[in-house]
Amino acid sequence: MSDGVIGNTFGFGPNIPGSSPGRTTNSKIRSIMKKDIHPSYNFVIFMDINSGFKFLTRSAITSKETMKWEDGNSYPLVKVEVSSQSHPFFTGKFTFVGTGGRVEKFMNKYNIQKKG
């Protein structure tokens, strides 16, 4: 079944020699993955420095700073400036920037005269 197309008959993954068409299982994928080229994927605490909001998730990012989480374990701490707790889209606190004068500044900068 080697027609040069990547994926099996149903489009769920690579054609693995000796495997039947259908879904590719994780064990089949792990057996064909290259060893020692993937970063470690561990638990990390992300902390929004604007709101103080913290959440624990898994990531390949590393940090020298650590913090103790609610479960009593210490995890690497990554500080971020914006999260869903501080971003205006999620909080509904929009700040509108005035656009007045931008056209005039552009016209003056490039010495363009208004027509008419």
Render pLDDT for 88-112 as a digit per residue (tens, 0 to 9): 676 777 655 555 677 778 878 888 8
Residue 102 included in any domain: no
Q: Quick one: pLDDT at residue 40?
A: 85
Q: Quick one: pLDDT at residue 97?
A: 53
Q: How far apart are CA 46 and CA 76, in angstroms?
A: 9
Number of domains in the chain: 2
Block mean pLDDT (10 aa), the chain, length 116: 45 50 59 78 90 91 93 93 76 62 79 75
Q: Are residues 6 and 29 in the same domain?
A: yes
Number of C-beta neighbours around residue 44 at 10 A: 20
Q: Are residues 9 and 45 in the same domain?
A: no
CA 7, chain centre distance (Å): 26
Q: Quick one: pLDDT at residue 25?
A: 60
| Residue 19 · residue 12 · CB < 8 Å | no
Candidates 47, 44, 55; CA nearest to 82 is: 47
Q: Are residues 23 and 48 in the same domain?
A: no
Q: Quick one: pLDDT at residue 95?
A: 59
Give every CB contact of residue 59 below 8 A, 6+ residues apart in sequence. Answer: 41, 42, 44, 46, 78
Full domain range(s) for residue 48? 39-91
Q: Quick one: pLDDT at residue 11?
A: 47
Q: Are residues 17 and 51 in the same domain?
A: no
